Amino acid sequence: MEWTPEEEQSEFNQAIASLQRIHSSLLEIDAAVFNEDYKKYYKALLLFWREMDCVLNDKERTAIKDLKNISDDNWDKLKNAYSQKAGPVSIDKNVIQSFENLEMELRRLMQNHNMNFPKKSDPRYALMNK
């Protein structure tokens, strides 16, 4: 007999752990942007993207993949800039913008999937109003 997801469902799942990892990656992103650490920014974005990928539908995944590919290309430019010069490095504005575009789209998708702010129909919303 073949197992199907409907037959066995755990009362426990990884939703909380996944949201904690997303939260941690967002904290890393904020710190990296604040400190202008664009290498760390890119790496934290990758963590955020990996966690979000499992909740995206095919259309969303395709759209975000284009932004990720641009960021990946700019990551290569960033690595080259750091490898060619010791000390402070001038970062191309387009590199930073590509990382920001990816981050903003991931945050929008997070909201679209109700992973950020609850909808008014969510029973937890009533508790927030008291």
Mean pLDDT of 101-105: 94
Residue 95: partners with Cβ closer than 8 Å, 6 or more residues away: 38, 74, 77, 78
pTM of the full structure: 0.76
Q: How confident is the model at residue 51 (pLDDT cuts 50, 70, 90)?
A: very high
Q: Is the pLDDT of residue 130 over 70?
A: no
Per-residue model confidence (pLDDT) at position 42: 94
Read off the pLDDT of residues 7-34 as tens digits, 9 standing for 90 and up.
566 656 777 888 899 999 999 999 999 9
Residue among 94, 100, 92 nearest 48 (CA): 100
Please report which confidence band the pLDDT of residue 115 belongs to, taking 50, 70 and 90 as the band edges. confident
Contact yes or no for 82/89 (Cβ under 8 A): yes
List, in sequence order, the alpha helices (H) in 13-92: 15-34, 38-53, 58-84
